[in-house]
Amino acid sequence: MSYQERGILVSMLIFFLIFQFCTCIDTITLSRPLKDGDILVSKGETFALGFFSPGNSSNRYVGIWYNKVSEQTVVWVANRDSPITNSSGILSVDETGNLVLHEKDQSFVFWSTNVSGVANDVFSAQLLDLGNLVLFQGEVYSWQSFDHPSNTLVSGMKFGLDRKTGLNRVFTSWKSSVNPGVGVYSLKMEFVGSTQSFLYKGMKKIWRIGSWTRHGCSGIHEMNTNYLFNVTYINNNDEVGIIYLVRTLSIFSRLVVSDFGIIERMTWNEADHKWVAFWSAPKDPCDGYNRCGPFGLCDPHALGTFECVCLPGYEPQSPQGWYLRDGSKGCKRKVGTQMCQVGDGFVELAHVKVPDTSTARVNMSLGLKACVELGLRNCTCMGYASADLSKGAEGGGCITWHGDMIDTRTFSDGAQFFYVRVDAAELGRDPPAPLTSLPAEKGLAVGHGRRRIRP
Ligand SMILES: *[C@@H]1O[C@H](CO)[C@@H](O)[C@H](O)[C@H]1NC(C)=O
Ligand SMILES: *[C@@H]1O[C@H](CO)[C@@H](O)[C@H](O)[C@H]1NC(C)=O
Ligand SMILES: *[C@@H]1O[C@H](CO)[C@@H](O)[C@H](O)[C@H]1NC(C)=O
Ligand SMILES: *[C@@H]1O[C@H](CO)[C@@H](O)[C@H](O)[C@H]1NC(C)=O
Ligand SMILES: *[C@@H]1O[C@H](CO)[C@@H](O)[C@H](O)[C@H]1NC(C)=O
Ligand SMILES: *[C@@H]1O[C@H](CO)[C@@H](O)[C@H](O)[C@H]1NC(C)=O
């Protein structure tokens, strides 16, 4: 081999070494920070981390995106509300064990993980193949991006509360497509009554995802396990929430809180090089939180008429408002209703997203039969339902409502049974009285063979 040939061979070897080396870097260490222009790529090459500018913006942000998706799709952003205006940004691990985003030779910190460090430990930050950026103090992790979501839920991420640390993961929209700053829409899980999730606009609830149970969610059946992904509900001493997993790693699927206040589940279609919206919500007027007021019931199939009706035994609080198709005042007990162990009982409604459980009582150790008895005995009980949908009429767990029942709606199928307290007159009617609705052309909206439950 000539000297020249050997030279070529050596440089090729070096080239391959460097090439190999470059694609394999998934870790930031004290001695190896990340400059603007550098990229970390996770081991399986599914995700990349680096600096980016959204759309036509010239601001620089640190983000994580799908490495194999040709249209840059950012799933997490570090410095959401403090953009860097030039390319002098550096992401490094400092001596206190924090990830810090700063400018070259400048002390100004744009963003930091802000965890308390342990002195004299080995610190590093690694981008894992699920798209999680994890900060390690030695072998122990002290921070991870999955716990501080932006607007996107990717496969493997948890949505819910870490009971040990009190950390509740909230997803927040971007301000706009060119500004990843914290926007007005947020998706949050709440734990009063039974576990529910809400989409907020600012402080205002605009959509409620019904109760989560280990078998899915009563508010949207599309969120339940299917052939592409599964959703597991976790509720133990350490945590409560869901974990969402795609069944095959080659499927890229994400749930996004969009800057328009819509939750979308998008799946990458490699053949057409585009994201396909699989599902989105809120979908119809009945998804609007508290659309029909207290004791109202929203029926999206009331085509051409007003979607608000009253629960059985109730009538519109404001017939005038109802006539003008404003359901916000809701409904009140019909005049002359006799209640409290005077022959009153419950009627069953099918395919219902049960009322907001924030003010309800939940007892997971009661079956549906005990639940009925509890309801009949207690005069303040306005309605009840099983807390575990999968068990249907047999029920597992008991939810009872003792005050206003709001945000109740029907679906054409799925969802669950809901039982509303009515007086003897309402119970005795055969066939059951039509649900109250004005204008009066509306008939029986959810009467799918209403069962009457008498004492
Ligand atoms: C960037 O794009 C947005 C819309 O996508 C537009 O409203 C804005 O004017 C553009 N800004 C610049 C600086 O071009
Ligand atoms: C980047 O911008 C900052 C001000 O935000 C400035 O202090 C710094 O000198 C700039 N660096 C370069 C390389 O232009
Ligand atoms: C860092 O954490 C401390 C205590 O948790 C808090 O007071 C401080 O505001 C945080 N700083 C930043 C920049 O988030
Ligand atoms: C959900 O899917 C993942 C990935 O295929 C699998 O490992 C897990 O066992 C599944 N869980 C359930 C509850 O089906
Ligand atoms: C649930 O019901 C059982 C059986 O009636 C009762 O012993 C228990 O105290 C109830 N739990 C709560 C939290 O009310
Ligand atoms: C009825 O239930 C409510 C709510 O759980 C409770 O505060 C009240 O004491 C109960 N009343 C009776 C008579 O058991």
Q: Which two tokens stand for residue 325?
A: 């198709």
* Atom 10, ligand 6: residue with shortest CA distance: 378
Cβ–ligand 6 contact at 378 (below 6 Å): yes
With a 6 Å cutoff on the Cβ, whether 114 touches ligand 3 is yes
Give me the domains of the chain, ranges plus CATH numbers.
1-148 (2.90.10.10), 149-283 (2.90.10.10), 286-453 (no CATH)
Q: Are strands 308-310 and 296-298 parallel, antiparallel or unpaired?
A: antiparallel
Pocket test for ligand 5, best of 192, 363, 371, 378 (most atoms within 8 A of CB): 363
Question: How confident is the model at residue 272, as a pLDDT?
Answer: 93
Q: Which of 121, 118, 102, 128 is nearest to 30 (CA)?
A: 121
Q: What does the angle CA 376 – CA 382 – CA 386 come to, to the nearest 5 degrees?
A: 75
Instruction: Give me the DSSP letters along 14-78.
Output: HHHHHHHHHHH--EEETTB-EEBTBEEE-TTS-EEEEEE--TT---BEEEEEESS-SS--EEEES
pLDDT (0 to 100) of residue 212:
62
The low-confidence residues of the chain, meaning pLDDT below 50, are 8-9, 12-22, 392-393, 431-449
Residue 251: what pLDDT? Answer: 87
CA 17 to chain centroid, in Å, comes to 44
Q: Measured between alpha carbons, how far is 433 from 430 in angstroms, rounded to an integer?
A: 8
The structure tokens listed for 97 are 């064990």
- Alpha carbon of residue 287 to chain centroid: 15
Cα dist from 88 to 48, 103, 105, 334, 386, whole Å: 20, 5, 9, 69, 57
What's the pLDDT score for residue 342? Answer: 84
Four-residue CA torsion sign, 180, 185, 187, 190 = positive
Task: Output the CA 400–ligand 5 centroid distance in Å.
Answer: 13
SS3 305: coil
Whose alpha carbon is nearest atom 14 of ligand 6? Answer: 378
Ligand 4, CB cutoff 6 Å, lining residues: 230, 232, 245, 247
Report the alpha-carbon distance of residue 410 to residue 349 in Å, rounded: 9
Alpha-carbon gap, residue 124 to 33, rounded angstroms: 10
| pLDDT recorded at residue 189 | 94
Cα(378) to centroid(ligand 6), Å: 6
Gap from CA of 214 to ligand 4 centroid (Å): 14
Nearest CA to ligand 1 atom 8: 56
> 455: cis peptide before it, omega within 30°?
no
Using CA atoms, how far residue 23 sits from 27, 48, 278, 347, in Å, is: 11, 10, 32, 64
Distance 88 CA to ligand 2 centre (A): 7
